[in-house]
Chains A and B, each alone.
Chain A
Amino acid sequence: MLEDENIIEVRNLTKKFGDFVAVNDISFEVKKGETFAFLGPNGAGKTTTIKMLTTLLRPTSGNIHLNQFDVVKESNKTRHSFGIVFQDPSLDTDLTAMENMEIHAALYGLPKDLYNKRSEELLNMVELWDRRKDMVRDFSGGMKRRLEIARGLLHHPKVLFLDEPTLGLDPQTRNHMWSYIKDLNQKEGITVFVTTHYMDEADKVADRIAIIDHGKIIAQGTSDELKQKTGQTSLEEAFLSLTGHAIREQAGESEMKRMGQMWRGGKR
């Protein structure tokens, strides 16, 4: 049964691409109003999971409920419940910044006055208000990223997915973004689901963290719980002790990684 306070419930979710298992039988839930982080290295399966949660990919098996809706069977209803900032580009570069914002507002049925107010506020926040009439194709990578974030925050959904939102952002915009989202989270009770491979970010913003590696959730809990469980003093060390490797893998670490996998396999 669905517990009312869980806004996301994931059971035995698996995604295979051919023979390759990108997401391997994961289960977790996210409570209404919390900020939940998926922490894991590149290729861990974070984006694949988010794509399944947001109706873009069909799971190979398992089920997902979001805001009480079955994400696969009630995909249309599910889409009314969330917003997302993608990791990969999703702008129309042949349009201006403002036109990209306008399309989003239309797709999400934002009333005109609310749209005017928010778009100005958000474009100022990411310092693109002066460039709003310029073609996105002329923007730098960082500017595009900032626009994606401003656009993603235009409407206020029940659940906001942020897939590595601060990747490639300058520290200042990063702070602005997080204080804006914190505000949304507190004032409107929006649930935030963020993926990251930055330890400090997960540590700072998340109420609870799930550590994901090679498609598996290895541990979940608050940052303190994870530290306690592993007897470490920092999240970084906790991560290392849980996965057997640092989050940014150096070349030549594969041997260590394999040992880590064996160790994990033995422990379970």
Chain B
Amino acid sequence: MRTIYILWLRQIKKYLRSKSRIVGSLGQPILYLVALGYGLGSIYAKGGGGSYIQFLAPGIIGMSILFTAIFSGIEIIWDKQFGFLKETLVAPVSRFNIMLGRTLGGATVAGIQGIIVLIIATFVGFRPTNLALIIPAMIFMFLIALLFTALGTAIASKLNDMQGFQLIMNFLVMPIFFLSGALFPLTGLPKIIEIITKINPLSYGIDGLRGTLINAATFSLWTDFTVLALVTLACIAVGAYFFSKIEA
């Protein structure tokens, strides 16, 4: 327990101390909200979709959680390079607890990031339809955060430097984002795209956010929750396995 807590705390402290990282990582979601929200708003409304900002904000919240979470997981590569990872790997505690502490810490950071983006979204006109559902929305945010931090951990456990990072961004993270329904509705898509979006776990996260924040889920909230929870558990299991095999 103490292991999980201290490694969780470490991630939080490091996050709170890097003001530039916090500000920097908010730039992108703000740009998307403003540029896409205002830029495509009228087309979307003409197409009969209603308010695009309402539709877009949950997607952008999901996006910023996705990026922050993957990044938190990938941080293991730095710990490998700067050597701190060794300090934890030789300690008389289970590797699972080490992995869990780090992952929970990274997920908390990503979750906080999501909440900050939610607050920012209200400044560009986003209005949650039911404030009572903010708590379930936060549960979805945290699940998305946990899932992708664990995925980042699993990937980073297999990498020794940042060389592969660009590859992962371009061929995994960006597709996960663009094909998740974050920017457009998941209805009336070509069959192949539809299949991909159905496999993509982020689709269920963003759908869950839409369900709770603007009462517009495509699937049911229970489907969203169950799929997310199961994939999260699977990612933690795979991440913990790869992490336990790290050599330094």
- A residues in contact (CB < 8 Å) with B: 51, 54-58, 76, 79-80, 82, 84, 86, 88-95, 99, 102-104, 106-109
Q: A58-B247, A91-B82, A99-B10 are in contact. List 20 more A-B contacts (CB 8 A).
A: A51-B248, A55-B89, A57-B248, A79-B92, A79-B93, A84-B90, A88-B86, A90-B84, A92-B10, A92-B79, A93-B82, A94-B14, A94-B18, A95-B14, A103-B6, A104-B87, A106-B2, A107-B87, A107-B88, A107-B93
Contact between B247 and A57, CB atoms less than 8 A apart? yes
CB distance from A109 to the nearest CB of B (A): 7
- Is B44 at the interface (CB under 8 A from chain A)? no
- Complex CA distance for A205 and B5, rounded to whole angstroms: 39
- Complex CA distance for A102 and B2, rounded to whole angstroms: 11
- Complex CA distance for A106 and B4, rounded to whole angstroms: 9
Q: Known: A95-B14, A106-B6, A107-B6. Is A79-B90 also a contact (CB below 8 A)?
A: yes
- B residues in contact (CB < 8 Å) with A: 2-3, 5-7, 10, 13-14, 17-18, 79, 82-84, 86-94, 247-248
Contact between B13 and A107, CB atoms less than 8 A apart? no
Give 8 closest A-B pairs by Cβ, nearest first. Answer: A107-B91, A106-B6, A90-B83, A80-B92, A79-B92, A89-B83, A90-B87, A92-B84
Q: Which of B6, B84, B87 has most chain A Cβ within 10 Å?
A: B87
Contact between A56 and B89, CB atoms less than 8 A apart? yes
CB distance from A61 to the nearest CB of B (A): 16
CB distance from B202 to the nearest CB of A (A): 29
Contact between A108 and B10, CB atoms less than 8 A apart? no
Contact between B10 and A103, CB atoms less than 8 A apart? yes
Pick the contact of B3: A51, A90, A107 (CB < 8 A).
A107
Pick the contact of B90: A56, A88, A92, A109 (CB < 8 A).
A56
CB distance from B196 to the nearest CB of A (A): 38
CB distance from B19 to the nearest CB of A (A): 13
Contact between A86 and B86, CB atoms less than 8 A apart? yes
Q: Which residues of B contact A106 (CB under 8 A)?
A: 2-3, 5-6
Q: Which residues of B contact A90 (CB under 8 A)?
A: 83-84, 86-87
CB distance from B76 to the nearest CB of A (A): 13
Q: Which residues of A contact B94 (CB under 8 A)?
A: 76
- Closest chain B residue, CB of each to CB of A78: B92
- Complex CA distance for A88 and B89, rounded to whole angstroms: 14
- Can you offer 20 A-B residue contacts whose CB atoms are under 8 A? A56-B86, A56-B247, A58-B247, A76-B94, A80-B92, A82-B90, A86-B86, A86-B87, A89-B82, A90-B84, A90-B86, A91-B87, A92-B82, A93-B82, A94-B18, A95-B10, A95-B13, A102-B6, A103-B10, A107-B91
- Complex CA distance for A113 and B13, rounded to whole angstroms: 24
- Closest chain B residue, CB of each to CB of A89: B83
- Complex CA distance for A76 and B89, rounded to whole angstroms: 10
Q: Known: A57-B247, A94-B14, A99-B13. Is A108-B91 also a contact (CB below 8 A)?
A: yes
- Complex CA distance for A106 and B89, rounded to whole angstroms: 14
Contact between B91 and A79, CB atoms less than 8 A apart? yes
Q: Which residues of A contact B83 (CB under 8 A)?
A: 86, 88-91
Q: Which of B10, B18, B88 has most chain A Cβ within 10 Å?
A: B10
